[in-house]
Amino acid sequence: ASKIESSSYYEIKAPSRTELLNEESWDNAMFASANVQNWPEYKTKLNPGDTLFFKDIELWFVKGASNLAFEKLLEFIRTYGGKLNIYISCNIEFYKYVRKVTAFDNVLHSSIIIAPRSAEIATKELMHRHNSGGMKLMIGEKFLKQLPKRQQNKIVKKFHQRSNGTIGSALYLWLANIVEVKGDTLYMKEPPITANPVITNSDWLILLNEFVIHKEMTAETALVIFKSQRKAVIRRSFTSLLRTGLLTERNEILTINPYAEMYVEEILRENGIIS
Whether pLDDT at 77 is above 80:
yes
How distant is the alpha carbon of residue 148 from its chain centre?
36
Classify domain 202-270 at the CATH topology level.
Arc Repressor Mutant, subunit A (1.10.10)
Arithmetic mean of pLDDT, 136-163: 83
More confident residue, 224 or 116: 224
Contacts of residue 21, defined as CB under 8 A and 6 or more positions apart, other chains included, come to 15, 60, 61, 62, 65, 67, 68, 69, 70
Q: What is the torsion angle, in degrees rounded to the nearest 10, for the CA atoms of residue 213, residue 214, residue 218 and residue 219? A: -40
pLDDT at position 115, please?
A: 63
| Range 2-107: architecture per CATH | 2-Layer Sandwich (3.30)
Cβ atoms of 97 and 125 within 8 Å: the answer is: no
In this prediction, residue 6 has a pLDDT band, given cuts at 50, 70 and 90, of: low
Q: How high is the pLDDT of residue 2?
A: 41
Beta bridge partners of 216: 255
Residue type, 270: E
> Would you give the DSSP letter of residue 59?
G
pTM, rounded to two decimals: 0.79
Task: Count other C-beta atoms under 10 Å from residue 23's C-beta.
Answer: 12
Please state, in angstroms and rounded to a whole number, the distance separating the CA atoms of residues 254 and 245.
12
Beta bridge partners of 138: 143, 187
Beta strands in the chain (DSSP E): 9-12, 51-54, 85-88, 136-139, 142-143, 178-182, 185-188, 216-217, 247-250, 253-256
The two counts, helices (H) then strands (E), for the chain are: 13, 10
> Sorting pLDDT into bands at 50, 70 and 90, what band is 102?
very high
The number of angstroms, rounded, from the C-alpha of 44 to the middle of its chain's C-alpha atoms is 33
- Mean pLDDT of the region 34-46: 96
- How far is the C-alpha of 100 from the C-alpha of 235, rounded, in Å? 29
DSSP 113-180: --PPPPHHHHHHHHHHHHHHTT-EEEETTEEGGGS-HHHHHHHHHHHHHHTTT-HHHHHHHHHHTEEE
The sign of the dihedral angle between the CA atoms of 218, 219, 221, 225 is positive
**Tens digits of per-residue pLDDT, 142-152?**
888 888 888 88
Phi, psi of 16 (to 5 degrees): -65, 155
Q: Give how far Cα 175 sits from Cα of 170, 186, 197, 228, 238, Å.
A: 9, 10, 21, 40, 26
What is the DSSP pairing of strand 136-139 with strand 185-188?
parallel
Domain ranges of the chain: 2-107, 119-188, 202-270
> What is the three-class DSSP state of 101?
helix
200-250 confidence digits (pLDDT tens): 899 999 999 999 999 999 999 999 999 878 888 899 999 999 999 999 999
The predicted-structure confidence for 170-193, as pLDDT tens digits, reads as follows 888 888 888 899 998 999 888 876
d(CA 5, CA 53): 14
Rg (CA), the chain: 22
Residue 116 has pLDDT above 70, yes or no: no
Question: Rounded mean pLDDT of 19-39?
Answer: 96
- Chain mean pLDDT for the chain: 89
